[in-house]
Structure 1
Amino acid sequence: MKRIFLSAAAMISLSGVAMAQTPPNPAPTNQELPQDRGHDKHTAKHDAVDAAEKPATQTLNASSLAVDTAVEAQNQKQYALDQAAYRAEVAARKELIANDEARYQAQTNAYADAMAAWRAQVAACKAGKTKACDMPAPTFAQYY
Structure 2
Amino acid sequence: MYGKVSLIGLAAMLALPAAAQVATTPSPPSTDPARELPYDRGYDKQTPKHDAVDAVEKPVTEQLNTGAAVEASGNRAATETVNATNEAQYEADMAAYRASVQSKAQVAAADEARYETQQRAYADAMAVWREQKRACDRGVMKACKKPTPNPAEFY
Specify the alignment match of 1:90 in structure 2: 101
Q: Per chain length, whose mean CA-contact separation is higher, i.e. which structure has more relative contact order (CA < 8 Å, sep 6+)?
A: 1
Specify the alignment match of 2:129 in structure 1: 118
Shift of 1:21: 1.1
Shift of 1:123: 6.3
Task: Return 5+ residue gaps in structure 1 as ranges.
Answer: 29-35, 41-56
Aligned counterparts, 1:97-108, within 5 A: 97-108=108-119
> Which sits farther off after the overlay, 118-127 or 90-99?
118-127
Matched AA of 1:78: Q
Matched AA of 1:2: Q
Scaled by the length of structure 1, the TM-score of the pair is 0.53
The whole-number CA distance in structure 1 between the counterparts of 2:21 and 2:126 is 101
The whole-number CA distance in structure 2 between the counterparts of 1:103 and 1:111 is 12
Scaled by the length of structure 2, the TM-score of the pair is 0.51
**Alignment pair present for 1:139 and 2:150:** yes
Percent identity, please: 39
Shift of 1:116: 3.3
Specify the alignment match of 2:89 in structure 1: 78
Deviations for 1:35-77, whole angstroms, at most 9, x for unmatched residues? x98x97xxxxxxxxxxxxxxxx5x972x411111111111111
Matched AA of 2:89: Q
